[in-house]
Amino acid sequence: METYQTSAELVVALLAAAVVVGAIAGKLRVPYAVALLLVTLPLRTPAATIFAPSLLTVLLPALIFEAAWHLDLAHLRRYWRPIAFLAAPGVAITALTVAVVLSLVHALPFTQALLLGAIVSATDPIAVTAAFKEISAPDELSTIVEGESLCNDGIAAVLYSAVVGVLVVQHPDTTSIALRAAGGSIAGVVIGLVAAAIVAFGMRTVRDAPLQICASLVAAFAAYLAADRFGASGIFAALVVGVALRAFPGFPSDEETTLEIDRFWGALAFIANSLVFLLLGLRIEFGRIFHEPVLALVTIAAVLLSRAVLAYGALPLLGITQRGWRGIVFLSGMRGALSLALALTIPTSVPFRAEVIDAVFAVVAFTLVVQGLTIGPVLRRLRL
């Protein structure tokens, strides 16, 4: 009982800190999420131990569903090609770029470098959606960036699991990695569609707003947990539920209920975001960034290089000709909670585990702070 009370007190204290930091950040025009990270990054407290993969099981489904729920379906249909490219080939390009660069400079063996590449290959949906909520960006650009961050995290998480499996069994097989990644992603999509269909069908005659809100909550978490239980992508499951549930006719039942669901998920996402960024700052061991300075710098450079290739090289071929949009896509390549959680779950038997974690700390801290502080001023300067 005492443990639960202590945890509850800690959550209340963190949320109180989030309110204070948020108020100050608003006056200073500093992005809220970055402000939370900067305040807690130098601190070391027992709260840091709370940040674990199990925490994301509580917070990630809500954040993924809320972002997916607000995606514009018309813009998704129009810009599905760049979103799909950034989410699938983009993840592979980033992971391979990091792996090749690190192995060429002999910073890590290729397989461990590929593991690191998989962990940092995707933009973090929590970081990206938090940044875009605070800046005025065109809806079409927001759909591309947020759609990418939601999809590629699911692929990166499955790719990570596949590479770890290969490392643990000591029989590297690229075909096996690809098949596992594709299978886990597809299974997550199917589970999400099934969950959305069940809820939409079951609630078709219900007009009570609280019940519909509860149904959306059940759908998001049930899909995520079911996918995770069967070894599929929980991120894809929660993402598909959010998109599909709103697309099904009759759910929500009317415009007023839609607004109530929007308000509920907006408040829930704000609380979850606050907790994630506070605990993220507490969990990053700042001193470890300098354990392997060469590895950290080369990894950051490889991540930025791959992002530049995707934003400035690939997007024009996919119809995104606006130079300002490409600049924002480049800056939106932030890594965050999911990358850190994946790094911390690397089995202790994997060689160079500590070095990989050090590099992830460096990439997460650099992209969240530097790019998070830069994207707002650049967007305002571009006047998109």
Q: Which residues of 6-32 are buried (b: 16+ CB within 10 A; e: fewer)?
A: eeeeeeeebeeebeebeeebeeeebbb
Residue 351 within a domain: yes
Residue 307 within a domain: yes
What's the pTM value of the predicted model, to 2 decimals?
0.83
Residue 2 has pLDDT above 70, yes or no: no
Residue 6 within a domain: yes
120 and 335 Cβ atoms separated by less than 8 Å: yes
Residue 15 within a domain: yes
> Taking each helix axis from N to C terminus, what angle separates 53-69 and 255-283, rounded to the nearest 10 degrees?
150
Q: What is the pLDDT of residues 295-334, one digit of tens each?
A: 999 999 999 999 999 999 998 888 888 888 888 889 888 8
Residue 348 has pLDDT above 80, yes or no: yes
Residue 3 has pLDDT above 60, yes or no: no
Provide the domain count of the chain: 1
Residue 63 within a domain: no
How many of the other CB atoms lie within 10 Å of CB of 301? Answer: 12
Residue 189 within a domain: no
* CA gap 172, 110 in Å, rounded: 11
Quote the domain boundaries for residue 120: 2-52+75-179+268-382
Residue 208 within a domain: no
172 and 219 Cβ atoms separated by less than 8 Å: no
41 and 286 Cβ atoms separated by less than 8 Å: yes
Six token digits for residue 107: 């910073």
Task: Please give the DSSP secondary-structure letter assigned to residue 29.
Answer: T
Report the percentage of the chain scoring pLDDT > 90.
25
* CA gap 40, 46 in Å, rounded: 12
pLDDT the model gives residue 220: 93
Looking at the chain, the number of H-run helices and the number of E-run strands are 18, 0
Report the range of poorest mean pLDDT among 32-36, 153-157, 263-267: 153-157
Q: Which residues of 345-360 are buried (b: 16+ CB within 10 A; e: fewer)?
A: ebeeeeebbebbbbbb
* CA gap 312, 310 in Å, rounded: 6
pLDDT the model gives residue 44: 65
* CA gap 369, 42 in Å, rounded: 13
CATH code, domain with 342: 1.20.1530.20
Q: What is the pLDDT of residues 172-207, one digit of tens each?
A: 555 666 676 677 788 889 999 999 999 988 888 888
Residue 115 sits at φ, ψ, to 5 deg, of: -60, -45
Residue 281 within a domain: yes
* CA gap 254, 276 in Å, rounded: 32
Give the closest residue to 333 by CA, choosing from 357, 348, 311, 356: 311
336 and 366 Cβ atoms separated by less than 8 Å: no
Q: Which amino acid is at 333?
A: G
